[in-house]
Amino acid sequence: MTSEQKKALLLLKAVIFNYHGLDDEERKILEKTAKEIDGYEELEWVNDFIAQDHFSSFERARGFFNNAIQTLDNQTKLSFLVQAWDANRTKGYVSEIEATSLLKLSKDWNIQKEFVSFVRNRPN
């Protein structure tokens, strides 16, 4: 995984988590992901990205994603969204705003049909 892909995955999880304020459990999930992908530098970049302006971070992230993921195949894009979905479910819930944001991204990434199918068929 390239540095840009690590940033994209971590940024995806972080902007979704930050909708309701990043709590300790979510911070631990991000740190665990960074450890798994050897992405500590990328996680620092993500934290700085969000800190620049918390309220606009999702829209700014959409712009970043348009460049960072354009060379990825659909299966990898879906994998990133699934990882974000599952990370949210780890907390015990996926809020409406989090689900809507992931759906927006799946549409941006031209994999909305695949993502909706995944969500519908995912066991609870």
pLDDT the model gives residue 20: 78
Tokens 């348009």 map to which residue? 66
What is the pLDDT averaged over residues 95-117?
A: 95
Residue 83, both tokens: 């990882």
CA angle 79, 81, 87 (to 5 degrees): 100
Q: Decide if pLDDT at 30 tops 70.
A: yes
Q: What is the pLDDT of residues 40-78, one digit of tens each?
A: 999 999 999 999 998 999 999 999 998 888 889 999 999
Mean pLDDT score across all residues of the chain: 93
**Pairs from 69-73 (Cβ < 8 Å, separation ≥ 24):** 69/5, 69/8, 69/109, 72/5
**Helix, coil or strand: residue 72:** coil
What stretch of H or E contains 14? helix 3-17
Residue 100, both tokens: 């809507």
**Helix, coil or strand: residue 110:** coil
Please indicate, yes or no, whether the overall pTM of this predicted structure exceeds 0.85: yes
pLDDT the model gives residue 124: 65
